[in-house]
Amino acid sequence: MTFAMPAPPPPPAAHPDAALEVAGLAKDYGDGMGLSPVDLVVQPGELVMLVGPNGAGKSTFLGLCAGLLQANEGHAYVLGQPVGSIEARAATSYLPDAPVLYDDLSVNEHIEYIARLHGTQDWESYADDLLEMFNLTERADDLPAKFSRGLRQKAALILGLIRPFSLLLIDEPFVGLDTPGQETLVDVLADVAEQGAAVIVSTHQLDLAPKATRCVGLQDGQLHYDGPANPEKIRTLVGA
């Protein structure tokens, strides 16, 4: 029988007050695709647009920061705690690009489950506000598994927002949303950042650019740009 020694703990975070600190973070899938070593610090209250062409490494980056993927190199921290730790997971709300919903729970039942699981205070009134903002009040007792792509996306967004978090990671949240839903999401994300949470959104939605405090561009798994969220620059980074 072989005995595998536990991995050594990561070094202390250099920026323990940062919402997210990434130091030499890299992912190798073995086929040349993934993420080259990235260094990045995101402070509380920042709204960051993560942009780049398909295959640039955006989803990989978010998955690593959420603790859902294992890095080959480097480290990441949420509020000074290693990604994947209980403390980091408790502070992070992550929404993947495809909504994850239970087949047999209504929207309201989903909301109550997530809110109680994460100890959300006064969640009922907050849930009512979110349902109204995303125009789902009349569908709150329906099964979201039977919704259209856009309605499922709205339901998933509500679930990501109903729990407490200091870091919000969202992958392509505007896909499938109607125009009112897109406008609502822009306002909600800006409001979340104004209240002190850090928000990182993988999106090419230019309507978000005026609200964003920063743009991070990836190309071929490498950090290519870190600066103002200028629409023309975003178009260049996306390849449009």
CATH of the domain at 94: 3.40.50.300
Q: Does residue 96 sit within a domain?
A: yes
Token reading at 88: 């980091």
Q: Does residue 211 sit within a domain?
A: yes
pLDDT at 7 over 90: no
Q: Does residue 114 sit within a domain?
A: no
Considering the chain, what is the average pLDDT of its residues?
94
Where do the DSSP E strands lie in 43-184? 47-51, 73-78, 81-82, 92-95, 167-171
Q: Does residue 213 sit within a domain?
A: yes
The pLDDT score that the predictor gives to residue 3 is: 66
For the chain, what is the domain count? 1
pLDDT at 32 over 70: no
Distance, CA of 49 to CA of 5 (rounded, Å): 39
Percent of the chain with pLDDT over 90: 87
What is the arithmetic mean of pLDDT over 37-52?
97
- pLDDT tens by residue, 127-166: 999 999 999 999 999 999 889 999 999 999 999 999 999 9
What CA–CA distances, in Å, run from 95 to 24, 131, 213? 24, 17, 20
Q: Does residue 206 sit within a domain?
A: yes
pLDDT at 44 over 70: yes
pLDDT at 58 over 90: yes
Q: Does residue 157 sit within a domain?
A: no
- pLDDT tens by residue, 186-199: 999 999 999 999 99
Q: Does residue 190 sit within a domain?
A: yes
| pLDDT band, residue 9 (cuts 50/70/90) | confident
**Among positive and negative, which fits the CA dihedral 226, 230, 232, 238?**
positive
Distance, CA of 171 to CA of 223 (rounded, Å): 17
Q: Does residue 120 sit within a domain?
A: no
Name the pTM for this structure. Answer: 0.94
Give the range of the structural domain holding residue 192, as residue numbers without chain letter. Answer: 20-101+164-238
| pLDDT band, residue 178 (cuts 50/70/90) | very high
